[in-house]
Structure 1
Amino acid sequence: MAHGKLDMGKAWTQATALMGLNRDTIGAIAGLFFFLPSMASALFVPVTAITTAPPAGSSGGEDPAVVMQAAVDQMTALYADNWPILLAVFAMQFIGSMSLFALLTDRGNPTVGEALATGIKGLPSYIAAQLITVIGASLAIGLPLGLISALGGEAVAVLAVLVALVAIIYIMVKVSLAAPVIAIEGQRNPFTALVRSWQLTKGNSVRIAVFIALLVVVIGIISTLVSGIITLILSALGGGVATIGGAAVNALVNALLTALFVVVTVAIYRQLSDDLPQRAADIFE
């Protein structure tokens, strides 16, 4: 199914308009489902630095695969030790994201309560779609490239990793609209939602990837500078103030970025969907 080319300028204009029109509701949902869980995670989950130093007694020229495996093992241990908290945080953020999708894209002008109900109902389908994507990508990309890198040596392994990263980014772009499909179109079949997202992004994968990459770079630089300055000020106060203040700053940045990317995804969906609500078209006429 053919779609028009994504207009990145229009998508950003629509996103900022949506944020302006719904700032109170977006702020409430982001505060409850993004800020507070991130704050709790920052305070109760220990921060573990991922070390890539070679083990003691090694030559220092460690195989990249060994170093990567060590980092993966550390992350696995972190999740294993704190999975109840992290699971609750992920669930809250998923519900918040789905609720925002429903609130901003549903043609029925839902209330906050109705949007939350839609978010909760769509959560199993959304999680299933994520799991299908991860498992499918692992089988389609990870296994062949893992075999190639194992047989081809270090240079081939590095090339395989680069190819895998490109393929992963491509798949993420292709399935990026599955969440609004579940929320707005009421699609509860995760396979159908993924196929619909794949169709919606047809012919616009590169544009979507470039648009998101530009946002990540620009907003990442701004948020890093702002959070860095605030964290430096808080560090001067020392003790618990610095710890709690730093956690609050990081949680606020996470909440703002998450809400922003949800709204941007809505704007992209509105452009590419064949079933745009009439009220959405009226807003931006």
Structure 2
Amino acid sequence: MAKLDMGKAWTQATGLIGANKDTISAIAGLFFFLPSFAAALLVPELATSTSIDPARSGGAVGQQAELQAALDQVTAMYADNWPLFLGITIAGFVGSLSLLALLSDRGNPTVGEALGKGLKSIPSYLAAQLLSALAAGVAIGLPLGLVSAFAPPAVTVVAGLLLIVAMIYLFVKFSLIAPVIAIDGERNPLAAMGRSWRLTKGNSLRILIFLMLLFVTIAIIGGLVAAVLTLILSAFGGSVASIGIGLVNAAVNTIVTVIFLVVIAAIHRQLAGTTPERLSETFE
């Protein structure tokens, strides 16, 4: 049972990006950047639909009413534009699985080969996600529902907190489903879930800490960069600002997605083992 070395995983992730930057850029641009940019242009209210102004909300009651109005607006927005968001979701699935397939240590797949593997992986990946969500619902939702129905409120709160921890644990245990399917070529969703569970055994806390640190760091840096560029672009006003802000948000989202996927691939590679030939190629 291998122990995750977070420093080594990050070094491998940056090495994978450096060794595959052209092909990664092609997949990321096509499946992450362009859909995100298209959404920003076609549905500009995405950037403002959930904003709440405390100065005009009229206290807690007013804030609650405004929050409900914002949620209703978001619901209506997704209902009106569901074909677009469905297409973006599918593109994200294809792009994510194709990018992971590209980072396989079993040869050097081309972009076309990686896309083929990504497309073939979608049914297994969707099935595994549905099964893992069902498992989480049975293991977490059912007990919480029973506690909420029969236990005092204080016990319900404590149970809810414990079940949130359980949900995070399940997220970590199933976090390697995508690379198991796309890289290892495991098409059986139950087998993919089982392999992800085994690979993360003894490393759940390390993986959680690693991903949390990564998320916080990227969120802070990405948020600052996006905020500064958005502020600058807003000064131009009109379509220039809208297009520029859309470009910035799409670029930040793409970079975050790519880093997350490559880190997941590096974690999988370290815990699953890799061929010496491919590992040497990564750092050439």
C-alpha distance 208-186 of structure 1, shift in aligned 2 (>3 A):
same
Match of 1:44 in 2: 42
Moved more, 169-178 or 78-87: 78-87
1:105 is paired with a residue of what secondary structure? coil
Letter in 2 for 1:223: G
- Give the distance between the partners of 2:130 and 2:73, measured in 1 at CA: 22
TM-score (norm 2): 0.87
1:109 is paired with a residue of what secondary structure? coil
Structure 2: 5+ residue runs without aligned partners? none
Match of 1:118 in 2: 117
Cα deviation, 1:47-104, whole Å, max 9, x if unaligned, reads 23177x9xx9xx95x9x9xx99998776554433322111110111111111111111
- Does the Cα contact within 8 Å between 1:50 and 1:75 map onto a contact in 2? no
TM-score (norm 1): 0.87
Letter in 2 for 1:8: M
- Does the Cα contact within 8 Å between 1:107 and 1:278 map onto a contact in 2? no
Match of 1:244 in 2: 243
- Give the distance between the partners of 1:77 and 1:167, measured in 2 at CA: 32
**Map of 1:19-168 to 2, 5 A cutoff?**
19-45=17-43, 46-47=45-46, 48-49=49-50, 60=61, 76-168=75-167
Q: Percent identity?
A: 57
C-alpha distance 71-164 of structure 1, shift in aligned 2 (>3 A):
farther
- Give the distance between the partners of 2:147 and 2:243, measured in 1 at CA: 47
Which residue of the other structure, out of 276, 279, 282, is the alignment partner of 1:278? 276
Match of 1:232 in 2: 231
- Give the distance between the partners of 2:75 and 2:153, measured in 1 at CA: 25
- Does the Cα contact within 8 Å between 2:50 and 2:71 map onto a contact in 1? no
- Give the distance between the partners of 1:73 and 1:148, measured in 2 at CA: 30
C-alpha distance 236-69 of structure 1, shift in aligned 2 (>3 A):
closer
C-alpha distance 242-153 of structure 1, shift in aligned 2 (>3 A):
farther
- Does the Cα contact within 8 Å between 1:35 and 1:254 map onto a contact in 2? yes
Which residue of the other structure, out of 8, 12, 15, is the alignment partner of 1:14? 12
Cα deviation, 1:204-248, whole Å, max 9, x if unaligned, reads 000000000000111111111110000000111111111121111
- Give the distance between the partners of 1:41 and 1:231, measured in 2 at CA: 17
Cα deviation, 1:129-155, whole Å, max 9, x if unaligned, reads 111112221222112113313433543
Match of 2:2 in 1: 4
- Give the distance between the partners of 1:258 and 1:140, measured in 2 at CA: 29
CA RMSD between the two structures: 3.0
Structure 1: 5+ residue runs without aligned partners? none
- Does the Cα contact within 8 Å between 2:140 and 2:163 map onto a contact in 1? yes
Letter in 2 for 1:33: F
Post-superposition shift, 1:160? 3.5
Letter in 2 for 1:36: L
C-alpha distance 169-14 of structure 1, shift in aligned 2 (>3 A):
same
C-alpha distance 34-284 of structure 1, shift in aligned 2 (>3 A):
closer
Aligned length: 278
- Give the distance between the partners of 2:29 and 2:79, measured in 1 at CA: 27
- Does the Cα contact within 8 Å between 2:9 and 2:263 map onto a contact in 1? yes
